[in-house]
């Protein structure tokens, strides 16, 4: 008797789960929008009522802006390393970093143009040209 009642309860629970749409969750969506140097962006964060499920989706529109190369990241990193080297009185390293920073700043426009050409070559599957462009970017970086 007890076993039968337990099986009936399990069947009821299982059937109720089958009748529910597993991808419909009740909750709240929070939306944010903004604009930065890369273009417009929007962010939606959904949180279920019980807080067990949360996911975020980010949309970005570059509006024709060319994606930035890694150069600004390298430049910022080199500047931080230069400051640290000077504070630690590692002057040989500071000279090397200063030269790298100057090289990147002097070649910024050319590097951006080469990165754009590299992306075009990859999109067109012209891998020989992509290799040449990659090597030229490495020399200038």
Q: Which of 12-26, 36-50, 98-112 is the least confident region?
A: 12-26
Q: What pLDDT, on the 0 to 100 scale, is given for residue 83?
A: 92
Same domain, yes or no: 79 and 136? yes
pTM, entire model: 0.38
Q: Does 2 reside within a domain?
A: no
Q: Scanning the structure block, which residue is given the tokens 């009821």? A: 12
Counting the structural domains of the chain, the total is 2
- Domain holding 133, by residue range, is 71-140
One domain, residues 89 and 112: yes
Q: Are 45 and 56 in contact (CB under 8 A)?
A: yes
Instruction: Tell me if 43 is assigned to some domain.
Output: yes
Question: Do 77 and 128 reside in the same domain of the chain?
Answer: yes
Query: What's the rounded mean pLDDT across residues 21-50?
Result: 81
Residue 123: pLDDT over 90: no
Residue 39 zone, left/alpha/beta (φ > 0; ψ -120 to 50; rest): left
Inside any domain, residue 129: yes
For residue 14, is it within any domain? Answer: no
State the pLDDT at residue 105: 85
pLDDT value for 24: 63
* Same-domain status, 46 and 98: no
Whether the pLDDT of residue 70 is over 80: the answer is no
Of the pLDDT bands very low, low, confident and very high (cuts 50, 70, 90), residue 19 is low
* pLDDT of 44 above 50: yes
- Mean pLDDT of all residues belonging to the chain: 81
In the block, residue with structure tokens 């990165």:
115
């Amino acid at each position: 008797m007890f076993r039968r009642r337990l099986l009936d309860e399990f069947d009821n629970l299982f059937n109720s789960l089958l009748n529910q749409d597993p991808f419909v969750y009740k909750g709240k969506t929070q939306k944010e929008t903004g604009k930065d140097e890369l273009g417009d962006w929007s962010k939606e964060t959904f949180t279920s009522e019980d807080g067990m499920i949360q996911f975020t989706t980010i949309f970005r529109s570059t509006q024709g802006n060319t994606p930035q190369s890694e150069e600004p990241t390298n430049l910022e990193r080199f500047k931080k390393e230069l400051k640290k080297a000077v504070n630690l009185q590692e002057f040989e390293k500071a000279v090397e970093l200063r030269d790298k920073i100057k090289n990147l700043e002097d070649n910024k426009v050319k590097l951006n143009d080469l990165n754009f050409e590299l992306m075009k070559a990859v999109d067109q599957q012209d891998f020989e040209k992509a290799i040449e462009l990659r090597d030229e970017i490495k020399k200038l970086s």
